[in-house]
Structures are given as structure tokens and as C-alpha cells.
Structure 1
């Protein structure tokens, strides 16, 4: 699930209007709508505030937010799965070194 779609589902579950959430975040309604449709990226600084307003964890939102960033970065590549596998392998090596 994409970050924006998840935000919309959480907002609707709480029966919050788009304009109310946007106002609480101090952004305009059009921008919030674009974030929910994955047409614009939310500022990373909004994640803790979104988590609080939508009664969810910061970690959950950060995970989806970062996943969207990775998807955007590699989506047009010929071998996105190979890229992800190579990155995962490197992350695991780094973790071993840090242990």
C-alpha cells in the first residue's frame, strides 16, 4: 500500500474531512489531496504529526513513506527487484559490521 492511500484510509476511518486534516497540518487542502493520491510527496517532517492526528505509529508511516521513495527511484529501471536484492544484501553486510 502506498503512503498516500494509507493516509486516506486512516483519515476516512476517523471520519476526518480532508480540509480538517490539511488545516491541522497547516497545508492547503489541494496539497493534502495530492499527497493522498500520490501525486505529491509529503514533507518528512509531517510524519510525526500525521501519526498523532491519525492515531497510528510513526514507524508505520515512515516505513510506507520510505518505501514510496524507493519505488519512485527504481520504478523505471529494467531490474528493480535485482536492485532491491543488492541493496538488502549490502544492508545486511553493514549490520554485521556494526554488530
Structure 2
């Protein structure tokens, strides 16, 4: 399954769960969370951790990196959605990421 770029992370998880006819409780059990937490993830009110993303990718047969991309891009999009200069912010942020990475590599440390 290819991840749809315009779908939020929560919508994607709900779509995958419903496509496999899995109730909230079964997916929540795999994640070791309660059903209300998973429901909030599907509504984009709670954020999964890295382990949750890995388990969801495995459960739904998705690429872990693509699922992380869907989650992280949501975080950025929600943060910038109401900002009138969001496209400019993204361009500047991309350049800053390159700068930070090059600076950290030169120093021999890549910190996140």
C-alpha cells in the first residue's frame, strides 16, 4: 500500500485498520495502549512513539520509513497550517537542516 500524501497519519491508521477489519481493541493490544489512546491517535489528538509506528507498519504491511514520514510531515503541517508564510518557512528550514547536518558531520557528531 502506498501512503497517500494528503491523508493525515490518523486517517491513514484508521483506514488501514478498517481495511483489515480490525477492531480498535485488537490494534490497541498490539501497541500495548488502551483503545481510547488509539482512538485519539486516529483523530490526530495523540502522537505515537517510534515503537508504535514500527508496530503499526508491521501490522498493516507498510514501510516503516514511509509511515514515519507520514507522521512527521503531519506534525510539521499542523504546526504551520495557519502560518501565512508556511512555504517560505519550509524552504528556510530545509536549508537550516542542511547547515546543521554539515556542521555536525564536520564536528564528528550527528545529534537529533
Same fold (TM over 0.5): yes
CA distance in 2, matches of 1:26, 1:93: 39
CA distance in 2, matches of 1:45, 1:95: 25
1:52 equivalenced with 2:55 (yes/no): no
Q: CA RMSD in A?
A: 2.0
Bigger RCO (CA 8 Å, 6+ sep): 1
Which residue of the partner structure matches residue 17 of structure 1?
A: 23
Segment of structure 1 superposing worse, 77-86 or 8-17:
77-86
- Structure 2, unaligned runs of 5 or more: 1-6, 106-112
TM-score, normalised relative to structure 1: 0.84
Q: 2:45 aligns with which of 25, 29, 39?
A: 39
Q: 1:7 aligns with which of 13, 28, 44?
A: 13
Deviations 1:22-69 (A, max 9, x none): 011110000100100111111222111111111111011100011012
- Structure 1, unaligned runs of 5 or more: none
Moved over 6 A (4+): 93-98
Q: 1:62 aligns with which of 68, 73, 86?
A: 68
TM-score, normalised relative to structure 2: 0.75
